[in-house]
Chain A
């Protein structure tokens, strides 16, 4: 077994490490293609996000939601094309860990914003004066 072979065939086992790609036999060309597609999609989404943030073509109040949706889409592109997280059966552990991470992130973000919004509603002096 030559050095090059050893480097390219790390995927005889049925699981994937995150960041690794499925073995096919044309690793360099196919690997490059994946990264190029990812780069193109990410650049496209980024450009749209920067455009939307500065335009008056889109209804103003919808801009924050649009930006959040674009950001989540771009994170998905990075996860799939750069970190190679897929829904395949060899990726279950990675996806489960990711799902747990996303759950915690969601709880921290939404929980903090929800609680602090309610506190602001009921505790700011200005609000009490107006009420």
Chain B
């Protein structure tokens, strides 16, 4: 990537730079901080949305309408695998963001591929669980408990699905455009998104699965 292209990319959004720091990299860091901060605000609003789903679930968890409860439906061994997949993919995503910032191809593409595979493995287990529950008549229309369950866990699964698409896009963009500052900002936002999904999963496996089976 040439310096000319780099400078152009910076010039597109340099409104945050103070005139006292004409240095190209200071301007670049400003933009990266602003973008990261803005995306952090979005992620917090996403967490607030999830908290409403969690509140709904906690209120409705005992309203099984004579249908199956979590204790009968949940398999903690599957949940343990899902948790391990997502935690390891969060770690791999961290390795990928180090690789991206250091411009190391093997580290970036390798770790992103591992992240994608683990995320896909998580999604496979979750879809299999959903299909199995619907097959025995425990679909979202069976009871208020199951409606809340499918809304909360399904919404997280939807986020993981979108995250996987974003992940593949970021691999393709770095491949096509190189480690340009604007591309690196997108990698930063993607990494924040992926780590946040794992934080929400911590709340889900605790509140939904572990408390559903233990309590």
B residues near A71, Cβ cutoff 8 Å: 202-203, 206-207
Chain B residues within CB distance 8 Å of chain A = 1, 6, 21, 23, 25-26, 28-30, 32-33, 35-37, 39-41, 44-45, 47-48, 51-52, 54-56, 58-59, 76, 80, 83-84, 87-88, 90-91, 94-95, 97-98, 100-104, 107, 179, 181, 184, 188, 191-192, 195-196, 198-199, 202-203, 205-207, 210-211, 213-215
Q: B102–A46 contact, CB under 8 A?
A: no
Q: B214–A53 contact, CB under 8 A?
A: yes
Can you report 22 A-B residue pairs in the complex whose CB atoms are below 8 A from each other?
A3-B1, A4-B103, A7-B101, A8-B102, A10-B101, A12-B25, A13-B26, A18-B39, A20-B36, A27-B101, A34-B94, A46-B87, A46-B205, A50-B83, A54-B214, A68-B206, A75-B199, A82-B91, A82-B195, A93-B37, A112-B59, A113-B58
Q: In angstroms, how far is the closest chain B Cβ from the Cβ of A38? A: 7
B residues near A64, Cβ cutoff 8 Å: 211, 214-215
Given A18-B36, A42-B87, A97-B44: A6 and B25 interface contact (C-beta under 8 Å): yes
Q: A20–B32 contact, CB under 8 A?
A: yes
A residues near B39, Cβ cutoff 8 Å: 18
Q: In angstroms, how far is the closest chain B Cβ from the Cβ of A55? A: 9
* Nearest B residue (CB) for A99: B44
User: A6 to B183, alpha carbons, bound, how many Å?
Assistant: 14
A residues near B56, Cβ cutoff 8 Å: 112
Q: In angstroms, how far is the closest chain B Cβ from the Cβ of A109? A: 5
1/0 per residue, CB under 8 A from B, across A36-48: the answer is 1011001100100
A residues near B59, Cβ cutoff 8 Å: 112-113, 116
Chain A residues within CB distance 8 Å of chain B = 1, 3-4, 6-13, 15-20, 27-28, 31-32, 34-36, 38-39, 42-43, 46, 49-50, 52-54, 63-64, 67-68, 70-71, 74-75, 78-79, 82-83, 93-94, 97-98, 100-101, 104-105, 108-109, 111-113, 116
A residues near B51, Cβ cutoff 8 Å: 104-105, 108-109
B87, B100, B211: the one within 8 Å of A67 (CB):
B211
Q: A12–B26 contact, CB under 8 A?
A: yes
Q: A67–B214 contact, CB under 8 A?
A: yes
B residues near A10, Cβ cutoff 8 Å: 25, 28-29, 32, 101
User: A46 to B45, alpha carbons, bound, how many Å?
Assistant: 26
B37, B58, B84, B103: the one within 8 Å of A7 (CB):
B103
**Given A64-B211, A82-B195, A112-B58, 10 new contacts (CB under 8 A):** A11-B29, A12-B25, A17-B188, A19-B36, A49-B210, A63-B215, A78-B195, A79-B199, A82-B94, A101-B47
